[in-house]
Amino acid sequence: MEVFRKFYHLAGENFHEINKAFISLLPKKEAAIEVQHFRPISLINSVVKLITKVLSMRLAAII
């Protein structure tokens, strides 16, 4: 719920805060040591996707 409170209070210059990307490395096999043993995933705009999903679910209940 903290995410939604922060989103609600964003205004003007702070709106760029939701446009972040998080990159994580998932191991492809056990005991991964080298870079080739990892698979990168990107969580681009995951906060925006979460907020739009919740808003669309709330609108669907009204419509």
Q: Note down the domain range covering 23.
A: 2-62
Number of domains in the chain: 1
Which two three-digit tokens encode residue 6?
């922060």
How confident is the model over 3-28, as pLDDT tens digits? Answer: 666 666 665 556 666 667 778 899 99
pTM as predicted: 0.41
How confident is the model over 29-39, as pLDDT tens digits? Answer: 998 899 899 99
Q: Which helix H or strand E contains 51, and what residues bound it?
A: helix 46-62
